[in-house]
Structure 1
Amino acid sequence: MRHVIVFGATSAIAAEVCVRWAARGDRLHLVGRDPDKLAAVAARCGGAEVTTASGEFTDLARAEALAREGIAALDGRVDLVFVAHGDLGDQALSEHDVAEAARIVQTNFVSVLALLIPLADALERQRSGTIAVITSVAGERGRPRNYTYGAAKGALHVYLQGLRSRLWPAGVTVTTLKLGPVDTPMTATHAKNALFAAPQRVARDIDRAIARRRAVAFVPWYWRPILFVVRHTPEPLFQRLGFLSGR
């Protein structure tokens, strides 16, 4: 039985992952913003041992406290930390409103650090465990449709690279999960295409990537070759290809 902390547990993706882990008998501590939604996810986890805690992640002091409380709730032993919270924000507004740009960066990058710093210290002292964090393929290259969100996720990717190398001597795995678009409430207003994945499929792929101790996993897998092309397209050409650089 693993001891698992899940941050952002009420997201559609995280909820599906929690159900999978609960079915295996893992002990779960679920953290999210909405107590009612947390209770609903806990109920879906059947007979597993589940505790919950709520709080606002962008309140950095509260986020750090939630991390420490999660460790205590699992009696001081943590086998897996899964960080799944995030918010696309309003790209158009963020281009002209400093507060919205700062909110997007705070939610998708800084608040994650507030969780990871105490948790990384705990797992380093423990000399075991896994940290898995959802980022996004949007962090691979700046595009007009989501570059504020993408910049925050790109910064998180670099941070996780450094954290992975720091924790490697202690036997701690850090897995970066680069997700493409998923058909969830967060993308409800987005036009869907064949590249959108279902939460159940994404949950399965996340579970596999963590089990295999992957350093970086594109979820679903087909984003790896797609983003290789996107990353290496020369900027003068990139700017002329509307399907890449358009809104």
Structure 2
Amino acid sequence: MQRVLIFGATSAIAEATARRLAATEVAFFLVGRNPKRLAAIADDLGVRTGNRAHQEVADLDELDRHPMIIDRALAALGGLDLALIAHGALPDQRACQQDVGKTMDSIHTNALSAISLSSLIANRFEHAGHGTLVVIGSVAGERGRQSNYVYGAAKGMLAIFLQGLRNRLTPAGCQVITIKPGFVDTPMTKEFAKGVLWAQPDDIARGIVRAIKNKSDVVYLPWFWRGIMAMIGMIPEWIFKRMRL
């Protein structure tokens, strides 16, 4: 039985991924902020798997709680095979520009919290000699754009950290997978106008499960974002800085 720990379990992508993982023999430990939503998802997964899904309500911005949460998950599951870090928040860029405190809050949530969890999980996987860590980043971390560079900076920091973690853990037999979604239609992006480049949470979930199966390293979802970001990356800075993106 695969033992799975999900942080940010009430996010649309995490929920869709958990449902896909529930098609196999699996036991879940779910962590999220919204108690009612978390309980509903746990109940649904319990029905799907025939196993009670453990749950814990927590604000993952509280870094000092991370070790205790992970210890409780390990005790409840009897070990750990897969961890998914899927929490985050999309800040108001203009508000961040006017209030550096909001900028720091976004970096704390979208980078430092995920880095803290990744570090703690990595140490346990390294000691056990196995485990797969999956972390949801963003294509926004590829290049700083005026419209969302605070969020992009946090995701860029996270991507570089995970790259180093992957380099460290590969010899230990552990997998670190960075997921880079493009535009996804979720409650976090409900105010945005949607177009042809937008994906649904289950599209991303399907790609995550495939990445786990294939033991991938860095995955762009949907797939075409790899090409889009490659082209954006080739734009010279003297041109890019004048583009209204």
TM-score bucket (shorter structure)? over 0.9
1:212 aligns with 2:207: no
Cα deviation 1:74-97 (Å, max 9, x = unaligned): 11x111011000111111111121
Asked if the contact 1:7/1:82 (under 8 Å) is kept, the reply is yes
Structure 2 residue aligned with 1:55 = 58
SS of residue paired to 1:78? coil
Structure 1 residue aligned with 2:103 = 101
134-143 or 192-201, which deviates more: 192-201
Cα deviation 1:92-148 (Å, max 9, x = unaligned): 111121110011000001111221222111110100010000000000000011100
Which ranges of structure 2 fall in alignment gaps of 5 or more residues?
none
SS of residue paired to 1:23? coil
Letter in 1 for 2:97: E
When normalised by structure 1's length, the TM-score is 0.95
| Runs of 4 or more consecutive aligned structure 1 residues displaced over 4 Å after TM superposition | none
Structure 2 residue aligned with 1:11 = 11
When normalised by structure 2's length, the TM-score is 0.96
For the residues of structure 2 that align with 1:93 and 1:187, how far apart are their CA atoms? 17
SS of residue paired to 1:95? helix
1:73 aligns with 2:76: yes
CA RMSD of aligned residues (A): 1.1
Percent identity of paired positions between Structure 1 and Structure 2: 43
| Residue 159 (structure 1) shift | 0.3
Structure 1 residue aligned with 2:44 = 44
| Residue 210 (structure 1) shift | 1.3
For the residues of structure 2 that align with 1:111 and 1:59, how far apart are their CA atoms? 8
| Residue 174 (structure 1) shift | 0.3
Which ranges of structure 1 fall in alignment gaps of 5 or more residues?
none
The number of equivalent residue pairs is: 242
Letter in 2 for 1:237: I
Letter in 1 for 2:54: T
1:34 aligns with 2:34: yes
| Residue 22 (structure 1) shift | 1.4
Cα deviation 1:155-181 (Å, max 9, x = unaligned): 000000010011111100000001111
Structure 1 residue aligned with 2:230 = 228
Within a 5 Å distance, the mapping from 1:1-247 to structure 2 comes to 1-45=1-45, 46-48=47-49, 49=51, 50-75=53-78, 77-242=79-244, 245=245
Letter in 2 for 1:66: I
